[in-house]
Amino acid sequence: MRVALVADFDTAIGFKLAGLKEVYAVTDGRQAEEVINKLTKNAEIGIIIITESLANQIRQYIKEKLYERLIPIIVEIPDKKWAPTAMEFIKDIVKRTIGIELLIG
Amino acid sequence: MSSLEFKPTRMELIALRRRLNFAQKGLKLLQEKQDALIMEFFAAIQKYKRLRDSLLPIIREAYLALANAEIEMGALKLERIAEGVPETVNVEVKFKNVMGVLVPVIEAKIESIRRPYSLTDTSIYLETVSENFSQLLPTIIKLAEVSATIVKLSEEIKRIRRRVNVLDKIIIPTLNNAISYIKFYLEEREREDLFRVKRIKKKLELKSYL
């Protein structure tokens, strides 16, 4: 299966140079949502990489997708502006699983 | 739920005790499984954090090199070259069983890049960019595996917690109530019987005197 990337313009070029083909450069969360919708219907795609700053814009949508199906796996990676919103995904899932908020680190 | 749903007979009492025993055993097993899964869950989170942290320095370098390459060659040319790079990554997702939970295992095949451009008319940074971003890929794929595992474990933990709660807060108390109700009822009837027998005995004795 193939690996797809949904990211801003710069990240997209970088990963294209590293040899990813299913690369979509988007500018905001709404566009990212459309692209991910299309990608999840494609059985060829095994992993969708998305930058954390984009994922944070569509947190609710990502959450639904995560629980809805296992493949494609959606994975968030830190990007240029990682600092303030790091690891939202983990914080949220810990809160939902254990019932309390924990500081991971 | 009221304990009146159960017939106050000795048979029913025995059956209820058996059910209570079974429910308690099940509760204990489920709680043990839940504890084990939560440990797995936190181990996976630690792993996620470690992997993510290991990405950060490479990413910083990669973006720096990318910016330099863009300055030297221009974004357009860079993009044109990027379009020509052939696909190098292929993954296969398999599943492994961790305590009854199917978690993904990703096998990735990453080929080295065949560069579709000459080294003479491109920036030296182009090489660095491509190298840095390639370096990120194996870790990102591992990160995908761990994050899917975390989601799966979280779902299972929530499911088990619901069942533990049902057993602990509803089923076992109901059974306990029913058992004590039946016990009380049977004892009461025994006392009544005893009283009746004594009464009849007294009456018979009176009769025999006459």
Task: Tell the residue number behind the tokens 């292929």, with chain if given.
Answer: B90
Smallest CA–CA distance, residue B10 to chain A, in Å, is 43
Tell me the pLDDT tens digit for each residue of B174-196. Answer: 999 999 999 999 999 999 999 99
ipTM given for this complex? 0.87
Strand pairing report for B89-98 and B101-110: antiparallel
Instruction: Return the DSSP state at B86.
Output: P
CB contact under 8 A, A19 and B111: yes
Smallest CA–CA distance, residue B173 to chain A, in Å, is 24
Q: Which helix (H) or strand (E) holds B80?
A: helix B75-84
Taking CA–CA distances from B77, the nearest residue in chain A reads A13
Q: Which residues of A touch B98 (CB under 8 A)?
A: none
Residue B111 has pLDDT above 60, yes or no: yes
Tell me the pLDDT tens digit for each residue of B121-157. Answer: 777 888 888 888 888 889 999 999 999 999 999 999 9
Tell me the pLDDT tens digit for each residue of B67-105. Answer: 988 888 888 888 888 888 888 888 888 888 888 888 889
Residues 6+ away with beta carbon under 8 Å from A76:
A50, A51, A52, A55, A62, A89, B147
Chain A, 33 to 92: residues with Cβ < 8 Å from chain B are 46-47, 49, 66-67, 70-71, 73-80, 82, 87, 89-90
Interface test mutation site (partner B, options A10, A11, A15, A17, max chain B beta carbons within 10 A): A17
Give the 3-state secondary structure of residue A73.
strand
Mean pLDDT of A23-43: 88
Give the pLDDT confidence score for residue A84 in this predicted structure.
Answer: 52
Q: Alpha carbon of B123 to those of A10, B67, B115, B120: distances in Å?
A: 17, 11, 13, 8
Residue A7 has pLDDT above 60, yes or no: yes
Q: In what order do the strands lie in the sheet with A22-25?
A: A22-25, A2-7, A45-51, A73-77
Residues of B112-121 as b/e, b for ≥16 C-beta within 10 angstroms?
ebebebeeee
Give the pLDDT confidence score for residue A83 in this predicted structure.
Answer: 54
Sign of CA dihedral A9, A15, A17, A23: negative
Are B99 and B33 a contacting pair, CB within 8 Å? Answer: yes
Q: Encoding tokens for residue A13?
A: 């070029």
| Cα-Cα end-to-end distance for chain B | 55
Q: Which residues of A touch B72 (CB under 8 A)?
A: none
Stated length of chain B: 210
Task: Domains for chain A: give ranges and CATH numbers.
Answer: 2-98 (3.40.50.10580)
Q: Which residues of A touch B148 (CB under 8 A)?
A: 70, 73, 75
Mean pLDDT of A80-99: 73
Mean pLDDT of chain B: 88
CATH number assigned to the domain with residue range B27-160, chosen from the 4 options 3.40.228.10, 3.40.190.10, 1.10.287.3240, 1.10.10.60: 1.10.287.3240
Q: Counting Cβ atoms within 10 Å, is residue A83 exposed (0-12), middle (13-18) or buried (19+)?
A: exposed
Q: Which residues of A touch B38 (CB under 8 A)?
A: 98
Planar angle of CA A69, A75, A76, nearest 5 degrees: 135
Residue B159 has pLDDT above 70, yes or no: yes
pTM comes to 0.82
Give the E-state strand segments of B63-127 in sequence order: 89-98, 101-110
Q: Is A18 on the interface with B (CB under 8 A)?
A: yes
Query: Per mean pLDDT, which range of A61-75, A80-94, B39-53 is the poorest?
Result: A80-94
Query: Percent of chain B scored above 90 by pLDDT?
Result: 46
**Interface A-B: count of C-beta contacts within 8 A:** 133
Give the pLDDT confidence score for residue B162 in this predicted structure.
Answer: 92
